[in-house]
Structure formats: structure tokens, C-alpha cells
């Protein structure tokens, strides 16, 4: 089997599994309990929190563990919307966000919030002039994906963050695809809230984080207990939290080496495809893209048919986001960069690993 769908999920590294294992069968206590046995699990949770915080260059109490990237996105947008609605009800995002952001914005729109969806250029880069023009006195939040999950384009997050700070607006970024692959300095980029997920960096599924700057005050997302400083109720997923932290450590250690290797492999794949397959187009920015992402459109063929043919050869790929794999609609990302439906239907995303 040739697995080329690492944007959907990654294989857990053996070191991550070994780090998690004791918290399944030896140190299985609930971290919230008060006896000494539980203290070991509680320490593991807090040590993991510090590991993640150090990676992002933030304080440990600014990291909240969640059930994954989609939950983190939901919490970020709904949390800001409800907490700051007396200040304003206008939110700005882009047309190429992950559906965890787009569907949340759609939900908030039904509650009376005004949502502006900013266009992107033919490479999937957000139009900064349009974003700046959309800002008004009622704007409370801008949410822009760090690196697109389908076409891999990396956004000018630093420039967006500068604009956000100048206008005293909160800035959220869905960094699910970027975390562990691209160096992220939240202070340099003026990021107030960030979402990430464990299974995109060779960690476990069902665990994510939300970075929330201490100066940003939002309400709890899940009610029912005092976990996560009263902000997110529910028994801690200790093995998942430990696994997320271990995967973060490994990603940090190998970040530069991995980026070089994957970029060389990616560029080789892209060039061969463009040179040897007729009617092929690369989607997304040629260089300003994730090191492991290659996304193509092939004219005169359906993406689903192509995936079936590849599967018969033992090759795993995708036609877009795994979260919409059951949909027959063309990718909203490809439509946003200007593709007609008939071409957008012929897309193939191949995402590499080290």
C-alpha cells in the first residue's frame, strides 16, 4: 500500500504509542481525583500542557485540551461571538476555510451575527485589500485558516495579524494542517486563538488543543465539571493528551529536516505530474504551500473515479477534505479559486509524510 492521504490523518508513531500506553493500563486513574494515584495522571496532563505551550511560545494556562480540531474551531468562534456580542456582531472569515469554521459561521449567521466571507486569488491566497475593506466598527473577530487543508496554500498570517492588531480585533487561526509542520510564533503573528489536532502530526485521534490568549475572555464550551480550569468539562483523555505532547516533541525535533525532505519529494511529484500527464493543473500556490501537499485537477475525469482506480493499485489519496468525502458536490475551495464545476470535480489531493 502507498499511503498519500496524510492531510486526512497520519500513522501514529511508535514512540507516541509507547508514551501513551501506561495511561491505559497502569496509570489509568482520573486526573481530577484527589488521591495520590491520580496525581501521576494529573502530572502527566500538566507536563503535556507545558510541552505544547513551550512549542507555541505561550503560557501553559493558555492551552486547553479539546476533542479535536473541529471542537477547537467551534469553541473559538462561538466563544468569541457570545462573549463579545455587546461590542459587535460582525465576523470576517474566508471562502476556503475548513467546514468546521464555515458551518459554525453559518450557524452564527442564523443567530443574528453578520459574516463576511473574503475571496481568495487563483492560488488560494486571501485578498488582503478585501479583508481590510471588510473591517468595520462592529467587527469582533477575524478567522483565517493558517494553511488550507485541500490545496495546501499557506496564508500571509503575519500580515493579517498586523492588520488585526491595528484594528483591535481578535484573531483566530485554524492551524490544524500547519501545527507541527510550520514554525508558529503566536506573538509575532498576533494570534489570539489557535486550533490544532493530534492526528495530523502522527499523534492520536480524538485529541486537540485550543490556544487562548489570557487577555481574551470567553465562556466555557462544555458544561458539567471543573476540568480545564472550568472551561471544558469532561474527564481528561490522559493517554490522548500525553500522545499529543509526545507527537509535538517529535514534530519539533524533526521540523526543519522533515520540511526539506517533504518539499523535495513534493516538488518531484508535482513536476512529474505536470510534465507527463496531459490536461493537468496544480492547485494552490506553487511554493507558498505546505511541504507535503500536492493537489491537482485533471480535465475529463471525475475525481471519485480516479480514486477508485488508484485504490485498485494500492494507492490511497483523496479528492479533498476527508470531512466531506461522502459529498458529491465539488470542492468549495476549488470553486473559490475560480474553477468551473466540471474541472473542480476532477481534483486529486496527494499528501506525503516523512
3-state secondary structure of 293: strand
Cell representation of residue 235 = 474527564
Q: Which of 209, 236, 214, 215 is nearest to 225 (CA)?
A: 236
323 classed as catalytic: yes
Residue 59: count of CB within 10 angstroms of its CB: 14
User: Which segments within 81-179 are labelled E, that is strand?
Assistant: 90-94, 114-118, 139-143, 170-174
Contact 56, 194 (CB under 8 A): yes
CA 202 to chain centre: 14
CA nearest 249: which of 63, 58, 45, 55?
55
Angle CA 332–4–52, to nearest 5: 80
Distance separating alpha carbons of residues 203 and 114, to the nearest angstrom: 36
Is residue 130 packed enough to be buried (19+ CB in 10 Å), middle (13-18) or exposed (0-12)?
middle
Instruction: Give the integer Cα–Cα distance in Å for 315 and 309.
Output: 9
- Which letter does DSSP use for residue 320 in this model? S
**Marked catalytic residue, from 105, 136, 297, 323:** 323
User: What radius of gyration, in Å, describes the C-alpha atoms of the chain?
Assistant: 20
Which residues form the catalytic set? 323
Amino acid at each position: 500500500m502507498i499511503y498519500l492521504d496524510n492531510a486526512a490523518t497520519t500513522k501514529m508513531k511508535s514512540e507516541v504509542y509507547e508514551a501513551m500506553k501506561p495511561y491505559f493500563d497502569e496509570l489509568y486513574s482520573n486526573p481530577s481525583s484527589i488521591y495520590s494515584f491520580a496525581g501521576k495522571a494529573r502530572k502527566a496532563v500538566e507536563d503535556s500542557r507545558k510541552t505544547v505551550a513551550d512549542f507555541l511560545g505561550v503560557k501553559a494556562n493558555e492551552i486547553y485540551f479539546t476533542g479535536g480540531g473541529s471542537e477547537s474551531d467551534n469553541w473559538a468562534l462561538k466563544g468569541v461571538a457570545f462573549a463579545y456580542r455587546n461590542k459587535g456582531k460582525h465576523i470576517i472569515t474566508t471562502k476556503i476555510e475548513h467546514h468546521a469554521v464555515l458551518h459554525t459561521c453559518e450557524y452564527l449567521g442564523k443567530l443574528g451575527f453578520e459574516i463576511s466571507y473574503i475571496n481568495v486569488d487563483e492560488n488560494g491566497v486571501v485578498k488582503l485589500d478585501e479583508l481590510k475593506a471588510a473591517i468595520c466598527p462592529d467587527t469582533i473577530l477575524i478567522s483565517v485558516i493558517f494553511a488550507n487543508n485541500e490545496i495546501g496554500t499557506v496564508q500571509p498570517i503575519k500580515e493579517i495579524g498586523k492588520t488585526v492588531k491595528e484594528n483591535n480585533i481578535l484573531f483566530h487561526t485554524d492551524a490544524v494542517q500547519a501545527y507541527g509542520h510550520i514554525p508558529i510564533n503566536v506573538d509575532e503573528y498576533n494570534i489570539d486563538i489557535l486550533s490544532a489536532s493530534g492526528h495530523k502530526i502522527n499523534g492520536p485521534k480524538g485529541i486537540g488543543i485550543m490556544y487562548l490568549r489570557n487577555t481574551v475572555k470567553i465562556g466555557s464550551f462544555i458544561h458539567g465539571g471543573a476540568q480545564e480550569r472550568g472551561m471544558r468539562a469532561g474527564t481528561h483523555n490522559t493517554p490522548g493528551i500525553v500522545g499529543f505532547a509526545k507527537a509535538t516533541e517529535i514534530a519539533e525535533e524533526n521540523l526543519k529536516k522533515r520540511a526539506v525532505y517533504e518539499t523535495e519529494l513534493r516538488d518531484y511529484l508535482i513536476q512529474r505530474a505536470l510534465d507527463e500527464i496531459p490536461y493537468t493543473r496544480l492547485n494552490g500556490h506553487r511554493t507558498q504551500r505546505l511541504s507535503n501537499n500536492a493537489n491537482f485537477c485533471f480535465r475529463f475525469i471525475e475525481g471519485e473515479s480516479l480514486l477508485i482506480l488508484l485504490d485498485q493499485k494500492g494507492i490511497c489519496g483523496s479528492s479533498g477534505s476527508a470531512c466531506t468525502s461522502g459529498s458529491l458536490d465539488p470542492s468549495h475551495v476549488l470553486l473559490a479559486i475560480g474553477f468551473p464545476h466540471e474541472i473542480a470535480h476532477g481534483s486529486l489531493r496527494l499528501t506525503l509524510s516523512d
